[in-house]
Structure 1
Amino acid sequence: MRRITFSTARTYIASALLGLAITGCAVGPDYVAPKPELAAFHNIDAASRSQSKPAPSLDQWWNGFDDPMLVEVVQRALAQNLDLAASLARVQQARAAAAGAGADLLPTVDFEGTATAEHQSAQSPLGKLASNFPGYSRTSHEYTLGPAASWEIDLFGGLRREATAAREEAQAAEADQAGTRITVAADAADAYLQIRGYQTRIGVAQDQIETDKRLLQLVRDRYNAGSATGREVAQADALLKQAITTVPPLRIGLEKQLNRLDVLMGVQPGTYASELGTPQDVPSVPPIPGDNSPTDMLRRRPDVIAAERRLAASNEHIGAAISDYYPKISLSGALGLDSLGTNHMFSAAAFQAVGGGALRWRLFDFGKVDAEVKQTKGANAEALAVYRQSVLHAAEDVENALITLSQTQVRLAEIQDQIEALTKSRDLSEQAYRAGSITLTDVLDADSQLLSAKDELDSNRAGAARAAVGVYRALGGGWEPDAHNLTASR
């Protein structure tokens, strides 16, 4: 039997510590990404039915509206929006924190230099003792110069767990930044579409005002000819004033959306208003991707990705807390020069080397480590619930956006048919009134119904386009996942 000496045992222990330092032994649970099971979207067919051309790319869905001004507005918002700039700054902070956490795994080397002058008290214990020696001087100087290094050996993976958690938090911040990008693009498009909707509705109201003016003149002519009553003149005048009163609320809504769009583009309200001053029709609704599955949505939705990355980070915090059950070993050393005077500072005799090691083990802390482990496990359970909830909210957003779009389009078609019937009814009513076969009340009713239907038509046209934007937003469109090093749930 081979006898193990102290020297041999010391070599074995040193080799084992070095092996652990190199290979590592990370305690705690290994992360396994959750795999949510979602059924296919039950409203996707209705929203994507009867499409004659292919759907635009989700990365830049705004190109599908075939509106150059809309494209310019969205791109300008993505380049200048201040919320997006702030989110990018948060990404930079998170990346810096991750880099700092990773640096904790490596040795730290400092370069230090000191110069000390001391005038010793003759009444202190040291001064009284030293004053008995010949040549004693109460004044002394000391100079040191050289590097010092320290290194905590990550035997049980606590530092590696924290570094991994910091990287995952940085990835969550990147996903949040992508989510902000999606929101900015969608909000800019929504404001633009509302602007076009308000402009169209104002145009309809002004056309109606002109129609009501002609009707009022017709009634006045009939009154002057003795074929109409003063009551009919007052009714026609009231209808005209009613049409006029519909314009101010529309102009208020238009101005608010113009101001909102300017702020989204990072400028003072009123900066770009003149560029959008010329009214244009609401762009037509582009095709909706009909092949998107819940799995595709989960891979694209930044809020889901961020929740999953924070869940992964919380798992790493558990391992970091568990590592405190085990001892921590650190090494330190210094090489340098130490001299009482500058004359011999750089001589061989002034050279000195210091090395040491330290062990810290939290053996008795009255359950503090237990409490920290329980706290991290509770945070992990919370993060898991938040992730699952984010998945459900994402699916809810998609279903709501799809049903809103499909039903708005159905309503739009119905209103168009209604306007054709109301237009025919109003023209016939006016002809019958001119012939004296019906009263003015019938004409006024038909005119009022037609105005309301036209306004509702333009409102629903803008609503359908905005609903399409909502679908693209809900599906996670507006960014390029391949350009980001993010791990999405699969």
Structure 2
Amino acid sequence: MTSQPLFSPRLFRASAALSMLLLAGCAVGPDFVKPDDRLANARLSSGTDNASLHELLAVNVPVQWWTLFNDPILTDLQDRAQVDNLGLKIASERIEQSRAQLGIASSQLHPSVGASASYSRNALSEHGRFAALGAPTNANDFWQLGFDASWEIDLWGRARRAREGAAAAFEATVYDREAAQVALSAEVARVYLQLRGTQAQLDITRQNQSVAERTLELTESREGNGVATRFEVSSSRAQVATIKAMIPELIQRRNTLMNALALLLGEEPRALDTQLLETMPLPSLPTRVPVGVPSELAHRRPDIQRAEAQLHAATAAIGVAKADFYPRVGLRGRVGVEAFEADELDSWDSRFFSVGPTVYLPIFQGGRLKQRLALNEARQKTAALSYRQTVLKAWHEVDNALDAWASQHNIHGNLFVSYEESKQALHAAERRYQEGAADYLRVLSAQRNVLASESRLNTSATNATLVLVNLYKSLGGGWSPDAFDTALQASVDSQPAVAVSSVVSPLKVAQ
């Protein structure tokens, strides 16, 4: 008996030629075009004439912008938050999910191969119609081993558009994590600076309490000597009680801020008390502030990059929906052996095979394909509007932050003058008291004025540092776009060129 090849060479060559022809097909649907963000026309200005704005430098925004405060504790907290924050870990897991979705979409471009094996034992009924026709009713075994292969040829670019959309969705997920990283770095700095400002305010309040208590003692002594009135004594006591009532509130705020930092670092409550409970001065403002140029804002802010990637994914989905209107062409093949006896499976005569093209043509879908296309087109328009809104919001945030920076410079400068003048007044009152030209109450009053000026100056300094934090958050500081883009592209390109699935079915036994 002459053996025959499993595949006909002529059929194989025809299938290969058909595959090359179909692979040359174009992808339907719109190609993604990077939208115009119009940020090239933006200007970094506060809208007010302020000499302090010459300190703004049009150089790259530093990745670790918090180092401008020159505070090692803040730097340590930032480093720990980038590693231990639970929100960032959740965002990282979402990236892995999106990466898996990209792998699934990429697998549609390649053939799939599966292996199967089956065994069954069958017998016909002795009283059945087949037995009446003379068919044997003895039980027999049936063995089958084989491989199945299928490949849907991407003639209209359906699989390519699906992979393009999955890659864009993967980018959006990664940018989402970077946006969370920017927000986290700003939040850690904001809470830390508020903590230092609260601790400074607590010290000032305690000094005020000491001054108020000395004033009360002196007023009570003057009342005993018939110089002061009962009204003055009651007013002094009320002042002491009012200041005392402020201290527990400040302590509660301090403890809440320390716990907030512990939460951002993924720590238990009170875990940072040992490190942060000691009062430290508020970090000083940097004298020169790098802010970059407006045209780079879209590249620096990950939320803008995320919105662009979401628009890209929505555009690719239109191509997938349009490709569903066209026929699907594929190749399917099967090869294996089958026999009634297991020892006959290695015989050449037990072979079987089938190979050939498959075509699926949608004829009537009840309007489902049209509505799916309309849905994806509407989603793309929504994504485009969302992108424009994100860019405009970023522009406004930067403008508002710059305006607040200029305003805080003015406020802080004037309050510093007020604080210095109050100290001069205190020195003058102390000299007059030493010379016998004034009583000690005037000295205490001058001390209260100094402490009140110092309190306002501390509040202004805290607000100024917080404004700088908001400025860098609006500028997208806290991550490195250049290094990240290279790593992101490498991650997308690292998808496997061939995706083969091997599915082995368990032996089936039917008696």
Same fold (TM over 0.5): yes
Which residue number corresponds to residue 264 of structure 1?
264
Instruction: Give the alignment's TM-score, normalised by structure 1.
Output: 0.89
Deviation (angstroms), 1:165: 0.4
Which residue number corresponds to residue 65 of structure 1?
69
Which residue number corresponds to residue 301 of structure 1?
301
The within-5 A match list for 1:186-225 is: 186-225=186-225
Which residue number corresponds to residue 42 of structure 1?
45
- Provide closer, same or farther for how the CA distance between residues 344 and 12 of structure 1 changes in structure 2, counting only shifts above 3 A: closer
**Contact kept in structure 2, 1:166 and 1:313, CA below 8 Å:** yes
**Contact kept in structure 1, 2:58 and 2:291, CA below 8 Å:** no
Hey, what's the Cα distance between the residues in 2 that align with 1:119 and 1:40?
A: 86
Is 1:411 the counterpart of 2:415? The answer is no
Q: Which has the higher contact order (CA 8 A, sep 6+)?
A: 2
- Provide closer, same or farther for how the CA distance between residues 47 and 380 of structure 1 changes in structure 2, counting only shifts above 3 A: farther
- Provide closer, same or farther for how the CA distance between residues 158 and 439 of structure 1 changes in structure 2, counting only shifts above 3 A: same
- Provide closer, same or farther for how the CA distance between residues 80 and 465 of structure 1 changes in structure 2, counting only shifts above 3 A: same
- The root-mean-square deviation of aligned C-alpha atoms, in Å, is 2.9
Deviation (angstroms), 1:232: 2.3
CA deviation map 1:276-314 (0-9, x unaligned):
111111101225645522221110111100000110111
Deviation (angstroms), 1:428: 5.7
CA deviation map 1:76-122 (0-9, x unaligned):
11110000000001111111100110011100001111111223234
Structure 1 SS opposite 2:213: helix
- Provide closer, same or farther for how the CA distance between residues 127 and 177 of structure 1 changes in structure 2, counting only shifts above 3 A: farther
Deviation (angstroms), 1:450: 4.4
Which residue number corresponds to residue 387 of structure 2?
387
- Provide closer, same or farther for how the CA distance between residues 122 and 40 of structure 1 changes in structure 2, counting only shifts above 3 A: farther
Hey, what's the Cα distance between the residues in 1 that align with 2:17 and 2:369?
A: 26
Structure 1 SS opposite 2:279: coil
Hey, what's the Cα distance between the residues in 1 that align with 2:302 and 2:53?
A: 27
**Contact kept in structure 2, 1:259 and 1:269, CA below 8 Å:** yes
56-65 or 320-329, larger mean C-alpha shift: 56-65
- Provide closer, same or farther for how the CA distance between residues 237 and 433 of structure 1 changes in structure 2, counting only shifts above 3 A: farther
CA deviation map 1:185-244 (0-9, x unaligned):
111111111111111010111111112222222223333444333332322222222222
- Provide closer, same or farther for how the CA distance between residues 115 and 430 of structure 1 changes in structure 2, counting only shifts above 3 A: same
Hey, what's the Cα distance between the residues in 2 that align with 1:469 and 1:11?
A: 66
Hey, what's the Cα distance between the residues in 1 that align with 2:246 and 2:176?
A: 42
Gaps in structure 2 of 5+ consecutive residues:
1-10, 490-511
Aligned-partner residue type, residue 23 of structure 2: I
Which residue number corresponds to residue 96 of structure 2?
92
**Contact kept in structure 2, 1:114 and 1:145, CA below 8 Å:** yes
Hey, what's the Cα distance between the residues in 2 that align with 1:97 and 1:47?
A: 53
Which residue number corresponds to residue 454 of structure 2?
454
Hey, what's the Cα distance between the residues in 2 that align with 1:74 and 1:138?
A: 79
Hey, what's the Cα distance between the residues in 1 that align with 2:261 and 2:390?
A: 28
Hey, what's the Cα distance between the residues in 2 that align with 1:347 and 1:127?
A: 30
- Provide closer, same or farther for how the CA distance between residues 341 and 27 of structure 1 changes in structure 2, counting only shifts above 3 A: same
Hey, what's the Cα distance between the residues in 2 that align with 1:105 and 1:464?
A: 55
- Provide closer, same or farther for how the CA distance between residues 420 and 163 of structure 1 changes in structure 2, counting only shifts above 3 A: same
The within-5 A match list for 1:416-431 is: 416-425=416-425
**Contact kept in structure 1, 2:45 and 2:402, CA below 8 Å:** no
CA deviation map 1:443-463 (0-9, x unaligned):
887666544432222122111
- Provide closer, same or farther for how the CA distance between residues 423 and 220 of structure 1 changes in structure 2, counting only shifts above 3 A: farther
Hey, what's the Cα distance between the residues in 2 that align with 1:468 and 1:253?
A: 22
Gaps in structure 1 of 5+ consecutive residues:
1-9
Hey, what's the Cα distance between the residues in 2 that align with 1:141 and 1:48?
A: 92
The within-5 A match list for 1:301-380 is: 301-380=301-380
Hey, what's the Cα distance between the residues in 1 that align with 2:219 and 2:205?
A: 21
Hey, what's the Cα distance between the residues in 2 that align with 1:393 and 1:125?
A: 79
How many pairs does the alignment contain? 474
Which residue number corresponds to residue 121 of structure 1?
125
Deviation (angstroms), 1:124: 4.4
Is 1:165 the counterpart of 2:173? The answer is no
- Provide closer, same or farther for how the CA distance between residues 430 and 231 of structure 1 changes in structure 2, counting only shifts above 3 A: farther
Which residue number corresponds to residue 139 of structure 2?
139
Aligned-partner residue type, residue 462 of structure 1: T
Deviation (angstroms), 1:48: 6.2
Structure 2 SS opposite 1:280: coil
Structure 2 SS opposite 1:115: strand
Which residue number corresponds to residue 110 of structure 1?
114
Structure 1 SS opposite 2:286: coil
Which residue number corresponds to residue 32 of structure 1?
33
242-251 or 26-35, larger mean C-alpha shift: 242-251
Structure 1 SS opposite 2:332: strand
- Provide closer, same or farther for how the CA distance between residues 249 and 396 of structure 1 changes in structure 2, counting only shifts above 3 A: same
- Provide closer, same or farther for how the CA distance between residues 42 and 127 of structure 1 changes in structure 2, counting only shifts above 3 A: farther
Deviation (angstroms), 1:384: 0.3
Which residue number corresponds to residue 22 of structure 1?
23
Deviation (angstroms), 1:480: 1.1
Hey, what's the Cα distance between the residues in 2 that align with 1:350 and 1:59?
A: 68
CA deviation map 1:347-403 (0-9, x unaligned):
222222122332111122233222221111111111100000000011111112111
Aligned-partner residue type, residue 373 of structure 2: V
Hey, what's the Cα distance between the residues in 1 that align with 2:29 and 2:345?
A: 51
**Contact kept in structure 2, 1:81 and 1:266, CA below 8 Å:** yes
Hey, what's the Cα distance between the residues in 1 that align with 2:218 and 2:306?
A: 66
